[in-house]
Amino acid sequence: MNTNVNDDDRRGKGPSSKVVYDTLRDEILNLVQRPGRLLDEATLADRFQLSRSPIREALIRLVGDGLAAVLSNRSTIVSPIDLEAFPKYVEALGVAHRLNCRLAAENRTDDDLEAMASTNGYLLESIATEDYLLVSAANKSCNMAVARAGRNPYLAAFYERLLDERRRMFNLHIEHLGKSHLATQLYQQHDLMLKAVRSGEPDLADNLALDQTRQFRESFLEFMRTDQIAAIDLGKSVYVP
């Protein structure tokens, strides 16, 4: 009889690595797992009743998504929100957003328009709940409906990764500034974009996307300049341009 059985081998199967990944991903995006927080394999293994191997697999996927980072001592943390990199980030977001919107206006199908209308409707319903996390998730769904209408899966995948980081910033932002005005503004933006895509006007869609990115940039920069930002742990030092 083998008596050299470690704790990992004695654990029950529990949930899968995918469940761990999905759960932690949602928690990171919704700021339940705050920037810079340690994602300890042993602690997570106890939480999910799994061996360390599937926990490690989930963490590797999160690192690949840019939502987690590995330190020099090999420990894994929730990726900090890097305010120093914000100008470069929003530049990349703007390029991807504008290209997706242009392509959507050029390539959309009736099914795409229906999907965009459906996600916009869900966004409006989520605003009525006054749950800013639900609004944030619905906002991403609206943006991805546009990206899928553009018919470029490579650009859409790149855009989705940028949107996940934007979602963390949005949640941090709206968590402290209040949700009513920002949420209503989001719906108005998506409604205008739907009209531009439906009418097949890529230049108009591009200009709307440019305005949307600029509004997000200015709104978040204003938030960064408030006294509130100093009290928020972003996982690293804060820099306000």
Domain boundaries, the chain: 13-78, 83-231
DSSP string computed for 14-30? -S-HHHHHHHHHHHHHT
Q: Tell me: the pLDDT tens digits for 58-82? A: 999 999 999 999 999 999 999 998 8
Please count the other Cβ atoms lying within 10 Å of the Cβ belonging to residue 225. Answer: 11
Q: Which residues of 89-105 are buried (b: 16+ CB within 10 A; e: fewer)?
A: bbeebbbbbbbbbbbbb
Give residue 162's pLDDT.
Answer: 95
Least confident of 27-31, 66-70, 91-95, 230-234: 230-234
The two structure tokens encoding residue 208: 């709307």
pTM over 0.85: no
Quick one: average pLDDT of 153-176? 88
User: Nearest-CA neighbor of 216 among 189, 192, 234?
Assistant: 189
Query: Any idea how long the chain is?
Result: 241
pLDDT (0 to 100) of residue 236: 55
**How much is the mean pLDDT over the chain?**
87
The string of pLDDT tens digits covering residues 40-49 is: 999 999 999 9
Domain 83-231 has CATH 1.20.120.530: yes
Q: Give dist(CA 181, CA 219) in Å, integer.
A: 12
Give the CATH class of 13-78: mainly alpha
Instruction: Look at residue 149 and tell me whether its pLDDT is greater than 60.
Output: yes
